[in-house]
Amino acid sequence: MSANGKPKFAMYWAASCGGCEIAVLNIGEKILDFDANFEVVFWPVAMDAKYKDVEAMPDQSILLTLWNGGIRNKENEEIAHLLRRKSQILVAFGSCATEGCIPGLANFSSTEEIFHAAYDSISSENPEKLRPQYRTQMPEGEISIPEFYPTLRTLDQVVKVDYYMPGCPPESHQIASVIDLVIQVLQGKATLPPAGSVIGAGISTVCDDCPRQRNVKLVKKFTRIQALQNPDPTLCLLEQGVPCNGPATRQGCGALCPQAGAQCIGCYGPAEGVIDYGARLISAFASVIDSTDPDEIEAILDGIPDPAGQFYRFNLAGSLLRAGMKSWSR
């Protein structure tokens, strides 16, 4: 408890885009409840604070830390350990922290390829081809930047995580309900779920919330939704050949994309109990292909031109696969 008696709250971003922070602010007037119940002690995107301030706090003094972003470099890792030590409840918040998300797709590339893309490729404005160095001698002495790791790891691959909150970003109503829950726990009106649980989401899949009609599936062709001649707005997208990831994706978003006529891309991650989202989905899609002819099957599969992006867009780092072979070499 702080001087004003309110429990302390921290939020941190590692390798992420910042969308998770916006989602937190997007909870609307709930933020007032939040403010009434918590004292924010550390939140780089919202307030000024230094790492040394956190280091100075007693261990376990922060009640709740929401961590978004994957562990991409040494700084991320150090702060993960620091906040773990200082926090009672550490939540992997959002897809990057729970399963790697888009930054995790870099695990298919070597460090050199990543640097090339960032500093030398056609999209970079870097005529002198400068590359940042970990250590640089300056007149004032040596300065350093954090070391870049060969792979991106999820938060729980580095420190123990108490709860997971999926989504890219987590839906604001889900955030609000989690905050509500914590406040109720503080007031003794509710109990926390078992450690290691996924919070702010359901245990079933997106299909459970999707109003589209579902039948037995027999797919003769996979296609982009834009290429469908007469998309049926009431029929399951997968049945129409659109590779919708809804059947494998955790329930929580309210099936927003399929209702808007776009396939689910899987940002809420694997459903409860699924260990490797991509593998599950690959075997599920393979199961609905309506052919026994190897050549025809081959042709049907050509309708999924980017399997890594289709099946592992959000969870490569958190999958059993974790990374491609290239990332092994520095």
Partner 1 sequence: MTTEKSENKERIGVYVCHCGSNIAGIVDVQDVAEWAGRDLAERGVVVSRDYKFMCSSLGQELIEKDIQEEGLTRVVVAACSPHLHEATFRTACSRAGLNPYLCELVSIREQVSWVHTDKEAATEKSKAVLSGGVERVIHHEPLEPLHVPIHPATLVVGGGISGIQAALEIADAGFPVYMVEREPSIGGHMAQFDKTFPTLDCSACILTPKMVSVGNHPNINLFTWSEVEKVDGYVGNFTVTIRKKARYIKTELCTGCGICQEKCPKKLIDDVYEAGLGYRKAVYTPFPQAVPKYPVIDRENCTFFQKGTCKVCQKFCPTDAIDFEQEDELITVQVGNIILATGFDLFDPRKVSQYGYGRLANVFSSLEFERLTNAAGPTNGNIVLRDGVTTPRAVGIIHCVGSRDRNFNNYCSVICCMQSLKFAHLVHERTGATVYNFYIDMRTAYKEYDEFYQRILEEGTLFVRGKVAEVTGAARSPGEEGRLIIQVEDTLAGKQRRIPVDMVILSAALQPRYDAKEVAHKFGISCSANGWYIEKHPKLDPVATMTEGIFIAGCVQGPKDIPTSVSQGAAAAARILGRIQQKEIALEPVRASVDQDKCSGCRICNSMCPFNAIIFHEDRMVTEVNPALCQGCGTCIAACPAGAISGTGFSDQQILAQIEGLLMVNFEHARVAELG
Residues of this chain that interact with partner 1 (CB under 8 A) are 156-157, 160-161, 164, 196, 203-208, 214-218, 236, 238, 246-248, 251, 270-275, 280-281, 283-284, 287-288, 318
Q: Provide, rounded to whole angstroms, the least separation between the CB of residue 187 and partner 1.
A: 29
Neighbour-count burial for 207-230, b at 16+ CB within 10 Å, e otherwise: bebbebeeeebebeebeeeeeeee
Q: Provide, rounded to whole angstroms, the least separation between the CB of residue 71 and partner 1.
A: 13
Q: Provide, rounded to whole angstroms, the least separation between the CB of residue 312 and partner 1.
A: 14
Of 21 and 162, the one with the shorter C-beta distance to partner 1 is 162
- Residues 253, 273: Cα–Cα separation, whole Å: 18
Q: Provide, rounded to whole angstroms, the least separation between the CB of residue 8 and partner 1.
A: 26
Q: Provide, rounded to whole angstroms, the least separation between the CB of residue 203 and partner 1.
A: 6
Of 91 and 238, the one with the shorter C-beta distance to partner 1 is 238
Of 169 and 258, the one with the shorter C-beta distance to partner 1 is 258
Q: Provide, rounded to whole angstroms, the least separation between the CB of residue 208 and partner 1.
A: 4
Instruction: At 238, give phi and psi (nearest 5°).
Output: -60, -35
> Are 192 and 214 spatial neighbours (Cβ–Cβ below 8 Å)?
no
Q: Provide, rounded to whole angstroms, the least separation between the CB of residue 295 and partner 1.
A: 14
What totals of helices (H) and strands (E) does the chain contain, helices first?
12, 9
- Residues 149, 195: Cα–Cα separation, whole Å: 29
Q: Provide, rounded to whole angstroms, the least separation between the CB of residue 140 and partner 1.
A: 41
Of 10 and 207, the one with the shorter C-beta distance to partner 1 is 207
**Given its phi and psi angles, is residue 299 left (phi above 0), alpha (psi -120 to 50 degrees) or beta?**
alpha
- Residues 165, 155: Cα–Cα separation, whole Å: 12
Of 54 and 90, the one with the shorter C-beta distance to partner 1 is 90
Which residues have a Cβ under 8 Å from the Cβ of 151 and sit 6 or more positions away? 107, 317, 322, 323, 327
**Given its phi and psi angles, is residue 133 left (phi above 0), alpha (psi -120 to 50 degrees) or beta?**
beta
**Both tokens assigned to 293:** 């002819």
Of 3 and 216, the one with the shorter C-beta distance to partner 1 is 216
Of 61 and 249, the one with the shorter C-beta distance to partner 1 is 249
Closest CA to 314 of 157, 160, 96, 164: 96
Give me the sign of the Cα torsion angle 221, 223, 228, 234: positive
Of 230 and 287, the one with the shorter C-beta distance to partner 1 is 287
